[in-house]
Amino acid sequence: MAIERTLSIIKPDAVAKNVIGQIYTRFENAGLKVVAARMAQLSRAEAEGFYAVHRERPFFKDLVDFMVSGPVMIQVLEGESAIAKNRELMGATDPKKADKGTIRADFADSIDANAVHGSDAVETANVEVAYFFPALNVYSR
Ligand code: RTP
Ligand code: MG
């Protein structure tokens, strides 16, 4: 077990539903600390760069269209096994398959509009945190 950081995004659908606070409460109740945060309207270039690993996938254009469709809330979460813990809180990519009580089961409508993003491994977490936050703006505590 190690203290990790992970990149979390509350996607446009969940921001539009006004559930930022409810999602933050789940992070806090699971022992994850918000150590950096900002709201942003992503440009196409930013969204394409962020999801570059999916560039060749059939859903790439829909994914980018969705991610630029409204403001997102971007945060770095820190805590014991933060990457896996956040993925557990999120639930499966497809909300129909997500376990009861997970963020996606409770707030997501479809596999495209699925409420949240979370890094999936230490390497991707490091890249994704650096993509949105200069080190100076992350406040470990
Ligand atoms: P995320 O990266 O957003 O945290 O989601 P994830 O790890 O659970 O899923 P991933 O495989 O990384 O896919 C990234 C996002 O692309 C959309 N997607 N659509 N239509 C489809 O088959 C499909 N598959 C993936 C989802 O919005 C997913 O969150
Ligand atoms: Mg992913």
Domains in the chain, number: 1
Q: How far is CA 5 from CA 43, 90, 122, in A?
A: 25, 16, 8
Q: What CATH number does residue 123 fall under?
A: 3.30.70.141
Q: Which of 5, 26, 85, 117 is catalytic?
A: 117
| 87 annotated to bind ligand | yes
- Count of CB atoms situated within 10 Å of the CB of 137: 12
| 107 annotated to bind ligand | no
Shortest-distance ligand to the CA of residue 64: 1
Residues 72-117 have pLDDT tens digits of: 999 999 999 999 999 999 999 999 999 999 999 999 999 999 999 9
Q: Do the interacting molecules here have an ipTM over 0.85?
A: yes
Q: In what order do the strands lie in the sheet with 3-10?
A: 33-40, 72-80, 3-10, 116-118
pTM of the model: 0.96
Which residue has the CA at smallest separation from atom 16 of ligand 1? Answer: 63
Shortest-distance ligand to the CA of residue 87: 1
User: Range of 30's domain?
Assistant: 3-137
| % of the chain at pLDDT higher than 70 | 100
Instruction: Report whether pLDDT(140) > 90.
Output: no
Q: Give catalytic status of residue 117 as yes or no.
A: yes
